[in-house]
Structure 1
Amino acid sequence: MSSSESLAMFHFGEARMLAAAGDQEGAVEALQSAIQADPHSDFLRLSLAGIYLETGQVELALRAAEDALIQNPDSVQANLLLGNINFNGGRFAKAAAYYQRATELAPDEQSAFLHLAIAHARGGDLEQAVGTLKKLLERSPDYTAAELTLARLYREMGLTGLAEQIYRDLLESQPDLDTAYLELGELLEKEDRIDQALVVYRKALEQDPLNIGMRHHIARMLVVEDRLDQALVELEAILELSPEDLEARRKIGLIYLELENWEAAAEVFTEILASDPTQAQARYYLGSALERLGDYEGALEAFQAVSEESDLYPDALSHLGFLYHQLGRTDEAIAAIRTRIARDGDRPELFSYLASLYEAAGQTDPALAVLEEGLQRFPDNGGLLYHRGIILEGSGRRAEAMTAMRLAIAADPEHAEALNFLAYGYAEAGENLEEAYALARKALELKPEAHIRDTLGWVYYRLGRYREARIELEQAVEKLPEDPVVLQHLGEVYQALGLTRKAQRIYERVLELKPEDEKTRMLLEQLKGDRP
């Protein structure tokens, strides 16, 4: 070894020690000294490129790697490194050229072929990528990374059947391959083959029963599919394996809320808060459960503890208003929200909450005044305009209410409730029925709920389109079987269609629910009088 090579190796050793000690700048200087001693060493230049990459100096790394390739055009490592740098920079065609050269120099270098295929794919040439992987697998049929990459490419190309077969073949030979289970399950989920996906995930759990992440994924799937009881089983299995898993407890609590098992939900969220009192969501959900249980004092305490910085705070305020009112402490709720408006008046919902409190206390004029105050700050807020219309309607000021709803729709053309209100108002008055039809259809598209379907059915009735009215109103009654107004609408449609026995049964049911309904009583008497 020449003296210059010896000196270069000395500086290289120094660079390694400095790098190990975390002195990257010193390591760079030592490597530069090594290169000065042996300027023809591609190895030293590649080492320098590696240090530059570690410190985020990509352009300097690129230059050092190019210099290494100049010194040794047949360097596999230099070609691979340049391929990686260009790939990470999004220059996929250039990266592919370097990877291609690496495969020519080292035909047995599997990673070079794999990188080449991925570069082709990211450059948009999926066919070329598939061809490269097939050649690689011909030479190395058991190369798992190549098989997984080919399956992913097939999925990207929409050839899901081919991808599925690769995954299943892999799992046949490697039943502990977690990645194949996950990707096959994901493929099946996207094709809405949920039960098959669950079978795959459960096979993964047979291989690794302690896979908490997989159990969480299965639980999420089951919740989305509305299989809440099955989701509970999975989540409880997680808690058996990992009692400190607060996320599993939170999901269990939310499922209990969905199932309206308020007592169980309250118990779960109390347990969560005992473990971690900072859980704002758990505190909010605890309040919701206690409120439904009728424990207003407990619910009040839970909602009061929700931080003002929490995203749930506005909803907590809404609950607080209701609870204060139920406890006969409406003045406290009003004062609290007034204080909040003084500090944070840029939230229009605060004005709506405050108006609701005045409204609940029977103070219509102060409620309207609060909304006017809010509208001075937010003149185009559809929510405030809609709320104003509702209060005006409740005060018997129907014309003003309809005007308020038109303004709400002008401010927010997709405010489903305002659209519905206006459509129903026109239908009740028997005017602008074509416009009412368009409004009701749009409202139902935006918010497919039973009370809006009732409005559309009632508009159909007013238009004399009784068969269409029947379809909509029967669906509405299915969802709102105890709503006397919806039932009465359906009764009138049955009567118009000559279905007198059906109409009679409906009217009788309305009077069971609302004995004081004189209109329905009159319709029933008229119906009985018309029958032979």
Structure 2
Amino acid sequence: MNKNEQGIQYMQEGKWEEAAKVFSEAIEENPNDAVSYINFGNVLTAVGEVAKAENFYNKAISIDENAGAAYYALGNLYYDNDKLMAAKDQFEKAIKVGLQNSDCYFMLGMTLQQLDQPKLAMPYIQRSVELNPEDNDARFQYALCLANAELYEELIKVLEEVLERDPKHADALYNLGVAYAGHLEDAEKALECFTKALEAQSDHMLAANGKKIMEQLLAEQ
């Protein structure tokens, strides 16, 4: 096991000081290895040393301008500190230099959503799901993009896929109910979805409101 592998193991165990020591030794032994700087930056990020972490990621990029992991790490750092335009730029650079990582596509999509650019976000979140079909969070976010674009047939299909993996996903159940109510005008199906959403999360106020509206609608028929 080399020093970078040893340091990553320490990080997984939450042993930040030990990880920092090993990565520091790796940098001393090979000061032109971008990976060691990225790993050290990840330790600094984990312990809240944001400014120092940024310096290490930038050092990694100065050594290797194709270090996709450094751009991705910077993107996360900026995203977590609400520097959304800077985050977007870094995620885009990571993808441009060849980082085919589902998390990177997902974070770029989420950043674009935060920047009120849902149409631009959609293909990146869709790509994230393609790269990692087991990521149900990404699949649900893709569904929200479809809802925003009013692509209801595809929306219903994707929400059902979310619920296949997590039958008690309250937000997916609520959004499916909205789709049934608004697009298919199926009040009974909508009521069923809102009811299941409340069974999964009793304080889901939007589902409670939807359930009340559907009950009133059905009572009037």
TM over 0.5: yes
1:439 to 124, 128, 151: 124
- From 46, 65, 69, the equivalent of 1:383 is 69
CA gap 1:508/1:405 in 2 versus in 1, 3 angstroms: farther
The one-character-per-residue Cα deviations of 1:328-356 (angstroms, maximum 9, x if unpaired) are xx223212211111212444332332222
Deviation of 1:389 after TM superposition, in Å, equals: 0.8
Between the aligned partners of 1:357 and 1:530, the Cα distance in structure 2 is 50
Cα deviation for residue 525 of structure 1 reads: 4.4
Aligned to 1:421: 107
Corresponding letter in the other structure for 2:21: A
Q: In structure 2, how many angstroms separate the alpha carbons of the residues matched to 1:413 and 1:357?
A: 21
Cα deviation, 1:284-325, whole Å, max 9, x if unaligned, reads xxxxxxxxxxxxxxxxxxxxxx3x2xxxx6444212123243
Change in Cα spacing, 1:501 to 1:390, as seen in structure 2 (3 Å) is same
Q: Who is 1:448 aligned against?
A: 133
* 1:503 aligned onto 2:194: yes
Q: Return structure 1 stretches of 4+ with deviation > 6 angstroms.
A: none
- How does the TM-score come out when normalised to structure 1? 0.35
Aligned to 2:210: 527
**Alpha-carbon distance in structure 2 between the residues aligned to 1:362 and 1:442:** 31
Secondary structure, counterpart of 1:448 in structure 2:
coil
Equivalence map 1:160-309=2 (5 Å):
306=1, 308=2
- Could you tell me which amino acid in structure 1 is paired with residue 174 of structure 2? G
Q: How far apart are residue 487 of structure 1 and its match? A: 4.3
Q: Which amino acid aligns with 2:87?
A: A
**Paired position in structure 2 for 1:317:** 7
User: How many matched pairs?
Assistant: 206
State whether residues 68 and 94 of structure 2, in contact with CA within 8 Å, keep that contact through their aligned partners in structure 1.
yes
Q: Which runs of 5+ in 1 are unaligned?
A: 1-305, 516-520
How far, CA to CA, are the matches of 2:191 and 2:33 in structure 1? Answer: 53
Distance 1:321 1:494, change over 3 A: same
Q: Is the 8 A contact 2:78 2:86 kept in 1?
A: yes
Instruction: Determine whether 1:403 maps to 2:94.
Output: no
Could you tell me how far apart the structure 1 residues matched to 2:32 and 2:198 are?
49
Distance in 2 separating the partners of 1:340 and 1:489: 46
Structure 2 residue aligned with 1:337, among 19, 23, 26? 23
CA distance in 2, matches of 1:390, 1:503: 35
State, as a whole percentage, how many aligned pairs show the same letter. 15
2:183 matches 1:493: no
Quickly say closer, same or farther: Cα 1:431–1:490, change in 2 above 3 A: farther
Structure with greater Cα Rg: 1
Higher relative contact order (CA 8 A, sep 6+): 2
The 1:501/1:480 distance shift into structure 2, 3 A limit, reads closer
Against the structure 1 CA distance between its residues 425 and 337, is the aligned structure 2 distance closer, same or farther, given a 3 Å change threshold? same
Distance 2:28 2:200 in 1: 50
Q: Does 2:165 correspond to 1:474?
A: no
Compared CA separation, residues 445 and 373, structure 1 to 2 (3 A): same
Superposition deviation, residue 419 in structure 1:
1.9
Instruction: State how far apart, in whole Å, the 2-side matches of 1:333 and 1:390 are.
Output: 20
